Structure 1
């Protein structure tokens, strides 16, 4: 095999790996979204998948899935201007 053939093969393999990774990430996001829409709590999804709660939240937000519960009184106060937020 010539060096050019080897490099071409490497490029093809790298492209195939990127595509497989992207496809796997999309399938994972679909499964997470389906679980959330079925009513599974994000904490449960995170525990079952081994991914952080934040990752699950990002997937939900990217899929336009609304929060599964109403905001608490504390979180509502923090969200208001002049609330208890440290910012």
Structure 2
């Protein structure tokens, strides 16, 4: 079962309220997405911790309902 881009965005936004999120469906199949998540709350966190925050926001859907997510995280420029 595929997952809609707006559902991915809503889950991330619920877990990381200050995030600016861009979701791209890479294949048009609802299974392979790219996400760019930029949040001030990432400041001071390693890239690994930033990615873990996004995966936590997705609530265990990675590898199940959400097959593949190419993830980029960033802190906003000052």
TM range (shorter): under 0.3
Q: TM-score, normalised by structure 2?
A: 0.28
Q: TM-score, normalised by structure 1?
A: 0.26
Structure ID, larger Rg: 1
| Structure with the largest fraction of helix | 1
